[in-house]
Chains A and B, each alone.
Chain A
Amino acid sequence: MSETRLIVAPAPFYHSGNSTRKIMLDFCIALLPAAAVGFMRFGPRAAVVLAVCVAAAVLCEYLAQKITKRPCTLGDLNAVYIGLLFGLLMPSTAPLWLPVAGVAFSVAIGKHFFGGIGTNPFNPVLLGWVVVSLSWSQETASWAVPGSHLTGAAVYAEAPLEALHKFGNAFVANVSSMELLAGAVPGAIGVSSGAVLLGGLYLLARRRINWLIPVFFLAGVAGFAILAQAMGWGDANRMASPVFHILAGSTALGAFFLATDYSSSPCTCAGQAIFGAACGVMVMLIRIFGVWPDGVILAVFAMNLLTPILDRIRPKVYGVTKEVRSNA
C-alpha cells in the first residue's frame, strides 16, 4: 500500500491568497498615474529623481538587512513603494543627493530602526521628508514650473499654497481646479491631484485601504476650511475655498497614501475615522495659523503619534461584560 506522507500544519487550511507583495504592488501601481503626469510636466528629470529614489530605497533596505543579519525582504516591494512615494514629494529639480539622503533616512531610520515593516510608529516616508526639508529647506521647496524643462533653463515659481501663504488669495484666484487636478501648476513631481485621486480610487476599489481615513481626512480639510471662513478665523486675506485646499498641494496624496500607511494608522473603524478627521483638521490648522504653506506632511506626522491611543478605541468584544473585565 503506497501511502504518501501526511503533513501537519495549523488551521486554517485555505488562504485568501493575499500577500504583502500583492498589497505593495497595488500601492505602487496606484502611484503610477501620478508619476506619469509628473514625467509629462517636468520631463525626464522627474523620471531620474523617481528612479534614484527607488534605487536608493532598495539598496538601503538591502544594506540595512545585510548589516543587521536579517532575512532579506526586498521581495515584498515595500522599499520600492517607499522610494516611489518619497520621489513624488520631491521637486523635479532637486539635486540627486537630496532624495538619496531622504530615502536613506526613511528606510534605515524610519523603517528598520523600529524593526522593519509593520512596526514603524511613523510613516517612514514622512520621517525622511521632515528631516530633509528641515535640513535643506531651500532645495526641498524650489518648485519648477511645469514645462520649463522644454525651454532649457529651470524656471522656479511658488506652488499655489505657497503663493496663498505669502501673497494672499488674490494671487491664486486665477488657479482653476482643472489646473490643480491636471498638475499644471508648480509643485512636486506628484503635483497632479487628479492622478493621485485616480490612484486612491484604485486602492479603494482593490480594498487595499479602508475608505474611512481618506474620506474623513478630506472631510476634515473641507469642513474646517468652511468653518474657518464662516467664523473668520485667521487672516482673511489667506482664505481659500475648500475645493482649492483639497486639490492643492499634497492633500490628496496625504489622504490616500500618507495617512493610510498600515503600521502608523489605527485599525479599528472608530480609530480610523478619528485619525482621518484629526489629520484633516490639523492640515487646515497649519495652513491657516502656521508658518508652513502645505501642512499635510507635518499634520500626518503629528497624528501618527495618536495611533497607539486611537487603537485602544475599539468596539465591544462579544461576550466581554463589565464583570468579566473587572475580574481580569
Chain B
Amino acid sequence: MTRYGGCAKSGRLHKSDQKSDAQAALREYSPVKKTLYRTIGKAGKLAQTPIKEPETPQRLIVPLRQHSGPACAPAVQKGDAVAKGQVIGTAGNAYAADVFAPVSGTVADILEKHPTPFGEYSPAVVIEPGAGAEAAPTQGIKDFLLEDREKLWKIITGRGVVETGPSARPLRALLDPLMNLKTYDSLLIIGYDAEPMVCTNRRVASQFADQIGWGAALLRHLLGNPHTTLLVHQDDYKGVLRKLKDMNSIDVIDTPPVLYPDNLPLLMVKRHYGKEIPVGGDAADIGVAMVRAETVLAALEAVSQDKPMTEKVITVTGPGVYWPRMLRVPLGMRLGDVAEACGGLRVGVEFLVAGGPMTGWANYDRNAPVTRETDAVIALHGAASDIPDESPCINCGDCVSICPVNLQPNLLTRYCEFKLYENAQNIQSLDACVECGMCGYVCPARRPMLQFIRIAKLELKRQAELDAALCEIAARDPEEQTPEAEPAAFKPEAEQTADQTVAAAEAAPAQEAAPEEKPAEAGAEPPAQTEEPKPEKS
C-alpha cells in the first residue's frame, strides 16, 4: 500500500509525485492547453454560485435506460397516476437501475423510442406533473454505520443509485466487493470536473461537503474501511477542508495545477497511487474505489432519507445561454426546458451540447431529456464551434504530443478512417484511448479524430457482440452447423443488435440446409455442392 508519506489530514499532489516520461514532461508545458484554458477553461463565478432548483416543467420525458445495462421494463401504464419516487421502470439485471417518477403526476404516454442526449434511443415514460398518487411514506436510516452491509446495498440498489457521468454503472455493480470480487485499499472521491466549462462535481463537493463527508463514511463502511481521499479543485480546497475538519477519516487533497487533459481522474490515480488503471478495466482492479462526489451524495440520500435518484445536478453554461447556472433538475427534464430555466437560448445558437465541450454530444432535438449521464448542458453559437472542414492529416504530431495516455492518434485514426479496426486495436491500442478530445482540438487539418475513434470502438463492440451471438449458436446445436455459410451470411448484418443476430443466425442454417436436401432426393447434385460435407456426417 503505497500512499503519499505520512500525511494524515490533508495533502497536495505535486508535480514531482508523478513518475513521468519525456512525453508527459513536454506536455506539461504545451501552450495549446493554456489556449484552451484561456478560451473556455475558467469556470469563473459559476462554480461559486449555489445550485438552484428550477420550476417543474410542463412535461417530463423520463428515459428507461439511464445506466450501462439494458433498458428497464415500464412498470406503469398510460394514464396511471404516479407519486413522486414511485418506480416507473424495473431493472432487468445488475447493470440496470430502477427508474423513478421524479414528480407526482400522470403518465401521459409511454414512448417506444425517444432520443437520449447522447445520440441513442431509449424507451421513455412521459409524465405530466399534477396531483398524482399518494406518495408512500419514506423512512431513512440515520445510524447507517451500525447497519448490515447487505441491507444497505439493497437500499442503494433499490433507490437506483448509479455512478453519474458517462460510465453510468449502478453503484453496486461498480463498487460492491462481493459482486466484483475486488478488495479495496483506497476510496477516491472525485470532487472536481476534469473538463473545462463543467463544474458539476466541483460545485457538489464544495456546497455539500458535509454530506460528502457522511457519504464517504457510508461508503467506507460498505467497502471495508479503505483509506479515503476526497480530491477537490484547488480553488475549493480551503473551503472544503474547513467544512470537513471534524472528519478524521477522510483526507482532502486538491488537484495539482495542471490543465485538461492532464487532470483526468485516471491520471490523478496514477499521480496519487502510483499505479495505472489497466486498459479495459476500472480503478477497482488496482484496489481503488473511484466514485464521483455526486454519486456519494446520492448514495447518502438514498440511505439516510430514503430518496430515490430522481435528480441530477447539471452545469448549464456556454455563450449561448443568458444566465449560466448550476441547476438541480428532475431527471427527464427536456434540454429545451433546461435552457428556458436559464433565460433561454440566445439568437443564433446552433449547438445544444450534452456533456462537456470536448467530449459531449450535440443534440438535434430539444426534447432530449436530462439523464443520469448528463453532467452539463452547453449552448454554443455556430461561430464558436464551426463545423470542421476536414483536410488530410499532415502528420504534424500535435496530437501525439498532447495525448494524455501517450497514444499516436495520427496513426490510430488513419487505421480507423480506413476501417482497419483490428489494426487500430492491436497495433495502436485503440481501447486505451480515454476520449478526451484533445487530438481533435489541436488538429490543424480539423480531422474529426474523436469521431473516428468512437466509430471504431463501436464497430469493434458490434463485431464482438456478433461473434458472441455466433458462439452461442455454435454451443447450442453443433449438429446443425454449416461452417461455410457463416461469414457470407452475416457480414452485411453488422448493424443488427445481438438479439436480432441470434434469430437471423438460427434461421440461416435452416435455409442453407433446405436446398441441399432437395437435390439429394432428386439424385442429381450440382457440382458446386459436392465438396460440402453433409450435415448427417459431421
| Partner-B contacts on A (CB < 8 A) | 3-16, 18-20, 22-23, 73, 76, 78, 116-119, 207, 210, 262-263, 267-270, 311, 314-321, 323-324, 328
Contact = CB atoms under 8 A, between A and B. Distances in A.
B408 A22 contact: no
Contacts of B347: 4
Interface stretch (B223-231, B277-285, B295-303): B277-285
Contacts of A318: 266-267, 270, 276-277, 404-406, 432, 434
B429 A315 contact: no
A125 to B, nearest CB: 15
Given A8-B363, A207-B31, A15 B432 contact: no
A320 B429 CA distance: 8
A12 B444 contact: no
B184 to A, nearest CB: 19
A315 B23 contact: yes
Nearest to B398: A18
Interface in B325-356: 345, 347-353, 355
A136 B327 CA distance: 74
Contacts of A268: 23, 397, 400, 408
A8 B362 contact: yes
Contacts of A4: 345, 347-350
Interface in B1-42: 21-24, 26, 31-32, 35-36, 39-40
B35 A13 contact: no
B405 A6 contact: no
21 contacts: A3-B366, A5-B350, A6-B349, A10-B388, A11-B451, A12-B450, A13-B358, A14-B40, A15-B388, A15-B440, A20-B444, A78-B394, A117-B394, A268-B23, A314-B408, A317-B405, A318-B266, A318-B267, A320-B429, A324-B278, A328-B429
Interface stretch (B376-384, B484-492, B499-507): B376-384
Q: Interface of chain A, helix or strand or loop or mixed? A: loop
Contacts of B444: 18-20, 22-23
Contacts of B397: 210, 262, 267-268
A267 B414 CA distance: 15
B278 A319 contact: yes
A314 B350 contact: no
A29 B67 CA distance: 53
Interface string B420-461: 000001100100101001101111111010110010000000
B406 A118 contact: no
A70 B432 CA distance: 35
Contacts of B350: 4-7
A11 B278 contact: no
Given A7-B382, A15-B446, A210-B401, A319 B279 contact: yes
A16 B441 contact: yes
A315 to B, nearest CB: 4
Given A315-B23, A319-B266, A7 B396 contact: no
Those 6 A-B pairs whose CB atoms lie nearest each other, nearest first: A318-B405, A267-B397, A10-B451, A13-B385, A12-B437, A118-B394
B394 A20 contact: yes
Given A12-B440, A15-B388, A320-B279, 10 more contacts: A6-B364, A7-B382, A11-B358, A11-B437, A12-B441, A16-B441, A16-B442, A19-B446, A263-B395, A316-B406
Contacts of A262: 394-397
Name, among A78, A262, A267, A311, the residue most crowded by chain B CB atoms within 10 Å (CB to CB).
Answer: A267
A65 B357 CA distance: 37
A13 B353 contact: yes
A315 B21 contact: yes
B391 A6 contact: no
